Structure formats: C-alpha cells, structure tokens
C-alpha cells in the first residue's frame, strides 16, 4: 500500500466537494504554509493548493496561519531596528506615478522609521518601487540586515521580497503559469519583518479590506490602516472618497475620508516619468494631483500612528510637513 503524502490531508480538506470541503483552521493553515516554505510539498500539490485556495478565497484565520508560518521562516536579523511603519508595496503603478513614495519620504524626513518591502520590477507596463526609488537616489537593500543599518542612517529602507523570502517570491512568480493570483500575494503584504507597531496596507479589490483588517486583529497587530489605494498600492486617490479600515489596540473601526478635489477626475498620465517625483519634491514641478496624493497618503499614515486625533487634523499636519519638507533630503541617482 502506498503511504499517503503528509500534505494530502490539506488538499483533501479544501477540495472534497461542496459538502465535504471546508476552510482550514489557523493551525492547519500554519502547518500547510510551513510545509510549503520548507519544500516538503510536491509541485503538483502546490499548484492544487494555491488554486483551491484561490477558488474559495482565504479566510482571516487561514491568512493569519499563513503569515505566522512565513514570519517564522524569515532570516534572523542581527540587529532588530525600532521601526515605526511597515509599508508594503506589491502592486506597481500603471495609471499614475508612485506618489506614495514621496509620502514615505515626507514621514521619514520628519523622523519616522519606515520599512518598505515588495516586488522587484516585473516586465510589464507598471512602474515598480525599486526603479522609482533608484531615481530618487535610494538604492534597494539586499537583505534585512542591510535594511536594519540603512534605517538607522536614513529612516527608510526597501528590500525586495526575493531578497528576504525567495520561496514566497517564487510562488508569486507562478501567476503567469497558473493564470491567477494566490494567497501569497496577500500574505506577503502582512509579513512585517521588523514587527513595526503600525502597518499600512493597500489593496485593489474592496473585499480584501475586511480580510486584511480582520487578519491584523488575529495577528495582534497594534495599529493598522487598510485602504483601497490607487493601483493597489498604499496611495490615497485624492479624486474620490477613501474608506480607511483600521485596527487600534484590539478594536476594529473605519473612517470615510472625503475627496480632496471636486468635479471631474484627473486623467490618466500619458507617460509615467518617474523623474517627476524628484522634481515635485524639490519644488521644480507643479502637479496638483501628485501633491494631493502625497499629502493625503501621509495624512492617513499620521492618523494611523496616532499623531492626529481627527481626519482634518491629520490632513493639516501633513500639509504643514509638506510645506516645511527638507528639499535636500532627496538627491538624483
């Protein structure tokens, strides 16, 4: 008799028909992801697992279990820095430039320590964070240890997922093969390698707001803000209202942030010239949409950090910070 593979019960739980299948418990999800990351799963099992999860969609307990296992698999860091904000960047921008990078710079130049992680550039029509940061004179770090040192020097560091969790990056790279995204796209955003007290989450599909928020609660995340950001990044679209779902001290809440402009929406940019980011920061470019996106996104971060007790106060503080930003903080590559 052939011995059943240890991962087979996981697939059976997820795929045993309409009446026999069910979601994984948090502990089952933890075990499943731990086996995946340890290379204890056959390729065909991995494909089946990812697609079964995609069809039914992950639950907060499943996602929390996945994140717990993924965090345990992260490389050890010799010096754990005190990070204020964990900022994930996995979508890339296609309609507008990644103005949110200037939001992060605005906060960092004011003393907040921000760790950003995401995908390295893909071969498509999007602008990804590593290439845009390079134009701002900020190279990516090659490891979490390097990022820890950079944070001490500059208050900001970015590491691509492939450089601190290559297995997760490999799974995300299966999307063109499988034709669909997988739970790994979601769990990677929640990794928070430096255990920052504030996590900012940007999603594209509105239904994922609740998933991220409720998972943050299960993970005992002290503070979290989740938005449907432009292109799926953590960037407030100033043309429309923005629902911010939060976690604060074990409590779930939400706020509706009003649009910053009235009337017709700004049109999609004809070309995404990332050099305009530096020009806006230096005051060499006037772009009302870009500036509003920068300030509006920073305001959401400030509110999540507890730096303002209302939406209006957060917006006012962000405007003040922008007006007094150190123009020399960023230099061309």
Does residue 171 lie within any of the structural domains?
yes
4 is a domain residue: no
What is the helix, strand, coil percentage profile of the chain, to 5? Answer: 45, 15, 40
Q: How many domains does the chain have?
A: 2
Same domain? 127 vs 188: yes
Q: What are 16's two structure tokens?
A: 């045993």
66 and 100 co-located in one domain: no
- Do 174 and 140 share a structural domain? yes
Domain assignment present for 228 = yes
Confirm if 138 and 158 have CB atoms less than 8 A apart. Answer: yes
Q: Indicate whether 242 and 127 sit together in one domain.
A: yes
> Considering the domain boundaries, does residue 78 fall inside one?
no
- What's the CATH code of the domain at 44? 1.20.970.10
> According to the model, what pLDDT value does residue 123 have?
63
pLDDT at 263: 78
Domain that holds residue 289: 85-329
The CA distance from 100 to 236, in Å, is 8
Residues 237, 214: one domain?
yes
Helix axes 60-72, 208-218, angle to 10 degrees: 60
Asked whether residue 111 falls in the same domain as residue 242, the answer is yes
Within-domain flag for 309? yes
Whether residue 33 is found in the same domain as residue 105? no
- Is residue 226 a contact partner of residue 72, using CB atoms and an 8 Å limit? no
Res 274: pLDDT? 87
Give the relative orientation of helices 100-109 and 311-323 as an angle to the nearest 10 degrees.
80
Same domain? For 144 and 200 the reply is yes
Q: Measuring CA to CA, how many Å separate 121 from each of 92, 125, 130, 155, 213? A: 8, 10, 7, 23, 27
Please check whether residues 235 and 161 belong to one and the same domain: yes
> Which residues of the chain are modeled with pLDDT < 70?
1, 121-123, 332-333
- The set of residues, in sequence order, having a beta carbon less than 8 Å from that of 136 and lying 6+ positions away, is 101, 105, 277, 278, 281, 330, 332, 333
Relative to beta strand 242-248, strand 223-228 is antiparallel
Other Cβ atoms closer than 10 A to 241: 11
């Amino acid at each position: 008799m052939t011995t059943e593979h240890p991962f087979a019960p996981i697939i059976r739980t997820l795929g045993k028909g309409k009446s026999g299948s069910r979601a994984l418990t948090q502990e089952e999800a933890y075990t499943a992801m731990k086996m995946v990351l340890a290379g204890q799963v056959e390729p065909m099992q991995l494909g089946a697992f990812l697609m079964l999860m995609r069809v039914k969609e992950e639950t907060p307990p499943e996602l929390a279990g996945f994140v717990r296992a993924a965090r345990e698999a992260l490389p050890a860091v010799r010096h754990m820095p005190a990070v204020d904000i964990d900022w994930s960047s996995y979508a890339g921008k296609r309609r507008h430039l990644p103005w949110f990078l200037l939001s992060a710079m605005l906060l960092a130049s004011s003393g907040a320590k921000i760790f950003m992680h995401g995908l390295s550039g893909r071969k498509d029509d999007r602008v990804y964070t590593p290439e845009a940061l390079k134009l701002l004179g900020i190279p990516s770090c090659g490891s979490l240890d390097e990022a820890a040192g950079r944070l001490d020097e500059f208050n900001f560091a970015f590491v691509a997922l492939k450089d601190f969790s290559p297995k997760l990056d490999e799974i995300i790279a299966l999307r063109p093969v499988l034709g669909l995204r997988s739970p790994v796209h979601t769990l990677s955003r929640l990794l928070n390698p430096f255990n920052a007290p504030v996590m900012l989450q940007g999603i594209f599909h509105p239904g994922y707001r609740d998933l991220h928020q409720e998972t943050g609660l299960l993970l005992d995340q002290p503070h979290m803000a989740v938005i449907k950001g432009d292109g799926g990044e953590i960037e407030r679209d100033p043309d429309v209202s923005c629902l911010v779902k939060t976690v604060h001290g074990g409590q779930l809440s939400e706020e509706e942030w009003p649009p910053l402009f009235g009337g017709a929406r700004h049109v999609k940019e004809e070309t995404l010239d990332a050099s305009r980011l530096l020009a806006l920061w230096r005051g060499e470019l006037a772009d009302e949409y870009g500036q509003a996106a920068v300030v509006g996104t920073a305001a959401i971060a400030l509110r999540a950090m507890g730096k303002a007790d209302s939406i209006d106060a957060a917006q006012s503080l962000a405007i003040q910070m922008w007006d007094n930003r150190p123009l020399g903080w960023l230099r061309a590559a």
